[in-house]
Structure 1
Amino acid sequence: MTEPELPAPRGPLSRTIVAALRNPAGSGMQTPEVEVDADPFGEDLQLALYACYELHYRSFAGVDARWEWDPDLLRLRGRLEGAFLRALRAHVDAADAGVDDALAPLLIEPLDRGGVSHHLLDHGNVEQFREYVVHRSLYHLKEADPQAWLIPRLTGRAKAGVITVEFDEYGGGRAERMHARLFADLMRGLGLDATYGCYLDRVPAPMLAVVNLMSLFGLHREHRAMAVGQFAAIEIGSPPGAARLAQALRRLDVADPACAFFYTEHVEADAVHEQLMRREVVAGLLEEEPDLESDLVFGIRATGLVEDRLAAHLLAAWNEGRSSLRSREADAFASGATPAPGAGTR
């Protein structure tokens, strides 16, 4: 298993955590005084939180495995989570709608063509598509792992439904069909490095927040309904966008079939998953624990919030003719990289 390198810090919070992880667990750590003033959606706090969560996935090269459950780090992580969750609650109202109302927008194609997949289909170039894939690599190279924490926290229909969806996400028992493997194939087809965590330093806070939301909900049993809402939102809302992204690759003359296959696989699979999530997972959870409906709605809408923030970041950068990735090195990567064989723009 390949472990990524520790990221470069982006402020005092992430600097404290990265510095601590270079030492043996139990060495202690100091909490920066600026913690209370940190932007909950900003680069520093989101990277600090991502580094904490990554210890529950593959961790980082050379990091003492005991840091995963180090009490000092967990206390600091809890404060970071609290700041992030409070910010989400300040932007998301989950008390004014039932789950059907919260899911309804995901079942309707918007009339405007202002989203990221529309941009890539209508106007995007290969460099922008590659950037988009780099952003998404932080999740898709561990696709379905954050949602796997739901399995021991559910029962009955909801549990069986999650397991069925996860079985598909993990390739139906075939390693070469795991969605994380298919995404790695997509990356290689676009001339990108598919090494797990390779682009962490280049991915900005809006994408970190998307992945951190999944980990926050998945790692806490008390947030299990929020995790169901998040899982439902991505499974129900993804097929139209995946179809557009597959079409965008054809428009861009990307020849490697592995690139489009990742998206065409999701069009078919997630159409089935939509029914499973609505009829078995969501309905099953509410049948057993109806008092969790507001948490479920919050999970759906919080997912929409972080995804909208990411989309705004991407589109603002591209509309201004600049890279959506971080740093001058990222700009050089976006403008000077060689496209995959057969790639180009019409």
Structure 2
Amino acid sequence: MTVDIDVRARTLPMPRGPVSCWVIATLGDGPAGSMRPNPGLEHADPLGGDLQLALQVCYEIHYRGFVGVDPDWEWDPDLIRLRGQMERRFLRRLRSEVAGGADADAELDSVSVAEAGDGSVAAYLRDQGTWDQMREYFAHRSIYHLKEADPLAWAIPRLQGAPKAAFVAVEFDEFGGGDGERMHSRLFSDLLRAADLDAGYLGYLDDVPPETLATVNLVSTFGLHRSLRGALVGHFATAEATTPPSAKALVAGLERMAAPAECVLFYTEHVEADAVHEQVLRRDVVDGLLAAEPELAADVVFGVQATEFLEGRLAAHLLHSWSADVSSLLAVREPWAGPVAARASTMDG
């Protein structure tokens, strides 16, 4: 019998620069409708820690929210306006970094044949990673896996007919097939406890770098915009295609490390489930969506490429840190002192 999953919201995180400080101070100090003057976004790196944390905080209001934050902020027009400005900067940067195109089949074929070979995080952890590095990897992934499948659910009302039915079928498995103890988020919570890590929701939000935040923000960005439903489907198909080989390598690494059974279980579950999910998403969701709305092909491709780009950035950060024998987490924080900085914070990045 697993321990009940933590359903509580967490406290607001520490800011990492002027934009996140402004957002966090505003949400923490007053009711919805009391937005402070905008500090300006023109100098914020779209992929940096300040903007990515600010975006993460804005998105979280749509999920569990934060302790002490007025839930009516969810649809506050000023907060939504700011979030839209950050999203546009984020999306422009992503589009500038990827090749684009409209051949969704070719793009998905390219990620479907990829294995967890040399140069991948999974292969590193399989062959030479330490238990401490594996635990760091868990901390990074906890930001997404403790809400696994929730951002994807935004696509359901935006799909129709057979693609919707197939999408829901895959989501049903992600949510444990109706069994709360088999939900993937629940299994990851069990993994964290077995690894002697914080299993609290967003427990490592203050510790992960912007590379991690961006991979999670991408899904919320796609999910909260009907106009990006094709990109969300492309992201989901990419995730399901690339997970089985990575999960298989992680299982081998965990067994080499004699890791707790709960840690191995989470990844064996993904080896088995996601191999089936990939086929359903390719055949029934992507093909069905593009048969009905062929104009969305470029969005599907963008979803695939943006996912691969951000995952590549995170992988480079992890491998660079570990090759230098340093932590990939933000172990050392320097206070960010700004005009509205009323709490300890971190520098951007």
- TM bin, normalised by shorter chain, reads over 0.9
- Cα deviation, residue 4, structure 1: 0.9
Choose the corresponding residue for 2:295, options 286, 291, 297: 291
- What letter corresponds to residue 103 of structure 1 in structure 2? L
Partners in 2 of 1:105 and 1:186 — Cα distance? Answer: 31
1:324 aligns with 328
Runs of at least 5 residues in structure 2 that lack an aligned partner in the other structure: 1-6, 335-349
CA change 1:111–1:49 in 2 (3 A) is: closer
Summarize the Cα distance change of 1:111–1:186 in structure 2 as closer, same or farther, 3 Å threshold: closer
Cα distance change on mapping 1:54 and 1:143 into 2, 3 Å: same
Q: Residue 310 of structure 1 aligns to which amino acid in structure 2?
A: L
Residue deviations 1:147-203, cap 9 Å, x none?
A: 000000000121011100000000000000000000011111111111101110001
Alignment partner of 1:221 is 2:203 = no
2:185 aligns with: 180
- From 190, 195, 214, give the equivalent of 1:190: 195
Residue 257 of structure 1 and its aligned partner are, at CA, apart by 1.0
Q: Which residue of 2 aligns with 1:25?
A: 32
Identity %: 54
Q: Is the 8 A contact 1:102 1:297 kept in 2?
A: yes
- Alignment of 1:80 with 2:77, yes or no, is no
Instruction: After TM superposition, give the deviation of residue 123 of structure 1 in Å.
Output: 0.8
- 1:6 partnered with 2:12: yes
1:253 aligns with 2:244: no
Q: Which one-letter code corresponds to 1:301 in the other structure?
A: Q
Deviation at 1:211, TM superposition (A): 0.4
Contact (CA 8 Å) 2:116, 2:246: kept in 1 or not?
A: no
Q: Is the 8 A contact 2:116 2:249 kept in 1?
A: no
1: CA distance, partners of 2:69 / 2:49:
22
Flag the 1:204–1:124 CA change in 2: closer, same or farther, 3 A: same
Most deviating of 43-52 and 108-117: 108-117
**2:332 match: secondary structure:** helix
Corresponding residue of 2:249: 244
Q: Deviations over 1:247-272 (max 9, x none)?
A: 11110111x21110000000000011
More helix by share: 1
1:50 correspondence with 2:56: yes
* 110 and 195 in structure 1: CA distance in 2 versus 1, 3 angstrom threshold: closer
- Measured in 2, the distance between the counterparts of 1:30 and 1:60 equals 22
Partner of 1:301: 305
Q: Does 1:210 align with 2:199?
A: no
Alignment of 1:62-141 (within 5 A): 62-95=68-101, 97-110=102-115, 112-141=117-146
CA contact 1:99–1:296 (8 Å) conserved in 2: yes
Q: Following TM superposition, by how much is the alpha carbon of 1:328 offset from its aligned partner in structure 2, in angstroms?
A: 2.4
Letter in 2 for 1:25: A
How many residue pairs align between the two structures?
A: 327
> What's the TM-score, normalizing by structure 1?
0.93
The answer to whether the Cα contact below 8 Å between 2:117 and 2:123 also exists between their aligned partners in 1 is no
Match of residue 319 from structure 2? 315
Report the alpha carbon displacement of residue 28 of structure 1 after superposing the two structures with TM.
2.0
Distance of 1:280 and 1:109 partners within structure 2? 21
TM-superposition CA deviations, 1:59-80 (whole Å, max 9, x none): 1111000001111111111110
**Counterpart residue number, 1:268:** 272
Partner residue, 2:157: 152
In structure 1, C-alpha distance between the alignment counterparts of 2:333 and 2:189, rounded to whole Å = 22
Distance 1:253 1:81, change over 3 A: same
Taking only aligned residues, the RMSD between alpha carbons, in angstroms, comes to: 1.2
Distance between the aligned counterparts of 1:138 and 1:86, measured in 2?
24
Greater relative CO (CA pairs within 8 A, separation 6+): 2
Q: Distance in 1 between matches of 2:326 and 2:162?
A: 47
The one-letter amino acid of 1:28's match is M
Q: Which consecutive residues of structure 1, in runs of 5 or more, have no partner in the other structure?
A: 331-346
Distance 1:94 1:100 in 2: 13
Corresponding letter in the other structure for 2:316: A
Is contact 1:29-1:73 (8 Å) kept?
Answer: no
